[in-house]
Amino acid sequence: MRDLSRLPNLDVALIQTELTWHDPAANCAHFQALLQQAQGADLIVLPEMFSTGFSMDSAALAEPEDGPTSQWLREQAQALQAVITGSLIIRAADGSYRNRLLWARPDGSLAHYDKRHLFRMAGEHKYYAAGEQQVLLEVKGWQVRPLICYDLRFPVWSRDAQHTDLLLYTANWPAARRNHWNRLLPARAIENLCYVAAVNRIGEDGKGHAYSGDSQVLDFQGEPLLGAGAADGVFRATLSATELAAYRERFPAYRDADPFTLA
């Protein structure tokens, strides 16, 4: 097992804000100003579908895999020398539409994760193709597993099968179900013995759905390190690998976990 105690602290910035409906240029301009407030963070997290809002108009809004928003994200990561991540609507090489989280690194490279669980109550499964695999990414030696919104409801998919240090959720989670968001996030932290960072949006979308925010960072016992409430802005927390390693040593519940594989 890795010696987590040797890793540096990880500075995380969450950007919780309103989104302009179906207007990537306006949203990128808005986030560019907010990103300056996140300077110095190692990892900066934007909401789900940050360039458009949570839309089912995939055919009209999808960008190619290296489209303008992807390029903008890479440029921001290089300028700030930080990993910047969030999801947007992508037309994949196979022609399918994906709710795709992009992971833009300071060196200009991109990794991605495609949302596995599509929100059928909004018809997302009719307009997007589901992702097929978990992804484990790295920043400053920390192992980060990104997930998107509705994925939060599925503990098997969220389960730590790869010694994840940080579970990362980016979302457009509606205010009508905010209690579910606030209860499920601590559960994911506790059962996986890892940090959880989760970013939601605020305001109202083009369909009239309200979003209450509640972006947050939780420690490995589900205790809050940061809670943004309904505020607009940039919110920061520092994660300690030393404290995570010490807790896993004191309470190694992962040793009794049930083995399983995902189809």
Hey, which residues are catalytic here?
48, 115, 149
Q: Which H or E run contains 242?
A: helix 241-250
Instruction: Give per-residue burial for 75-93: e unless 16+ CB within 10 Å, then b.
Output: ebbbebebbbbbbbbbbee
Q: How far apart are CA 51 and CA 31, in angstroms?
A: 9
- Which pairs from 28-31 meet CB under 8 Å and 24+ separation? 28/69, 28/72, 31/76
Q: How far apart are CA 101 and CA 103, in angstroms?
A: 7
From 108, 119, 137, select the one nearest 48 (Cα to Cα): 119
Residue carrying the six token digits 């920043």: 139
Instruction: Characterize the bridge pairing of strands 210-212 and 202-204.
Output: antiparallel
Whether residue 149 contacts residue 171, with contact meaning beta carbons closer than 8 Å, is answered with: yes
3-class secondary-structure state, position 21: coil
The DSSP code for 165 is S
